[in-house]
Structure 1
Amino acid sequence: MAKDTPSMAKNKIKRSLGAICDPHPSKAEEKELWEYFDSQCAYCGVSIERDSRTGHLDHLVPISEGGTNSIFNHVLSCAKCNGDEKREEEWESFLKSKSVSLDVYEQRKNRISQWLQRAPKGVNEPDIVAVRASIINKALADFDGAVARMRELRDRCT
């Protein structure tokens, strides 16, 4: 097993702090999502067998772009759409490319939009996301300072 490095510890700090107010979906929330989307891919509509492990919880707005881990920032996606096709594409343009007609696109978009609207107030609000990021960034800066001081101490001892 690899030893923890400062960069690994920093990543753990970031994930741990983030999970305090932005936890990953619970099993009950995942079940709610599967039921809401009728065990079908939100993008292409293919049926997904829950036990097959081919269903994915896809972030609509990626964490790297300010999205959250809230269940309401996820949709049910088949492995092909989430893993092979969508990649970094914005969900609405990807949905449009997967829809066989404008009517199908509008139906699927409305369903996803209604899901997004079920999020509790504040979960995906930019102000909340920004404050959370600010707290985490300060903690990481403090950690970087502590690492630098420990390295200075180490150098004095050797």
Structure 2
Amino acid sequence: MAKDTPSMAKNKIKRSLGAICDPHPSKKEEDALWMYFNFQCAYCGILIERASRTGHLDHLIPASEGGTNSIYNHALSCAKCNGDEKREGEWDSFLKVKALSNEIYEIRKNKIEAWLKKSPKVLNDPDFIAMRDRIINKAIADFDVAVSKMRELRNKCT
């Protein structure tokens, strides 16, 4: 098992503080997603047996590109589409490849876009994001100061 490092702790602080405002979907929200997508992969349309555990909650807009953990930033995906084929690609581009016809593409695209539109706007508000980032950056700066003091203390002990 990896040792705890300040770098790992900083990452955990960032994710933990961020999850206070942008938590992962609840069980009730996941149930709503499964119902919305009719237990079918949003990309290929295959029926997914929920008990099989092959259904994935796929981030439509990745966190690295400003996406949130809101349930409305997720689509139901089969393991093959999300894990094997789509990977880090954009959902719309991937959907174009997966759809058997332009008509199917438009239907699935419209369904996904309607779901995305339900996402809370505040999570994408620039003022909200700036305030959240200031709070997280302050916590990281305080942590860095504490790490520095602990290293000084360690050096006195050795």
TM-score normalized with structure 1 length: 0.91
Do the aligned partners of 1:66 and 1:129 also contact (CA within 8 Å) in 2?
A: no
- Amino acid of the residue matched to residue 152 of structure 1? E
Question: Which runs of structure 1 show a deviation greater than 4 angstroms over 4 or more consecutive aligned residues?
Answer: none
- Could you say what secondary structure the match of 1:61 adopts? coil
1:136, distance to aligned residue in structure 2 (A): 1.7
After the TM superposition, which of the residue ranges 40-49 and 4-13 deviates more from structure 2? 4-13
State the identity %: 73
Aligned residue pairs total 158
| TM superposition score normalised by structure 2 | 0.91
In structure 1, the partner of 2:22 is 22
| Matching of residue 92 in structure 1 with residue 57 in structure 2 | no
| Residue pairs, 1:117-156, within 5 angstroms | 117-156=117-156
* Equivalent AA in structure 1 for residue 15 of structure 2: R
CA apart distance, 1:63: 1.2
Structure 2: which 5+ runs fail to align? none
- What SS does the aligned partner of 1:122 have? helix
Equivalent-residue separation in structure 1 for 2:78 and 2:66 (angstroms): 23
Q: Residue 3 of structure 1: CA displacement?
A: 4.9
Contact 1:67–1:73 (CA<8 Å) still a contact in 2?
Answer: yes
Query: Where does residue 43 of structure 2 map in the other structure?
Result: 43
Assess, with a 3 A threshold, how the Cα gap between structure 1 residues 14 and 53 changes in structure 2: closer, same or farther: same
**Partner Cα distance (1:130, 1:57) in 2:** 27
Superposition CA RMSD, Å: 1.6
User: Aligned partners of 1:141, 1:83: CA distance in 2, in Å?
Assistant: 36
The 1:37/1:78 distance shift into structure 2, 3 A limit, reads: same
Q: What amino acid is the match of 1:117?
A: K
CA shift at 1:127, angstroms? 4.2
Residue 123 of structure 1 aligns to a residue whose secondary structure is helix
User: Distance in 1 between the 2:140 and 2:157 partners?
Assistant: 26
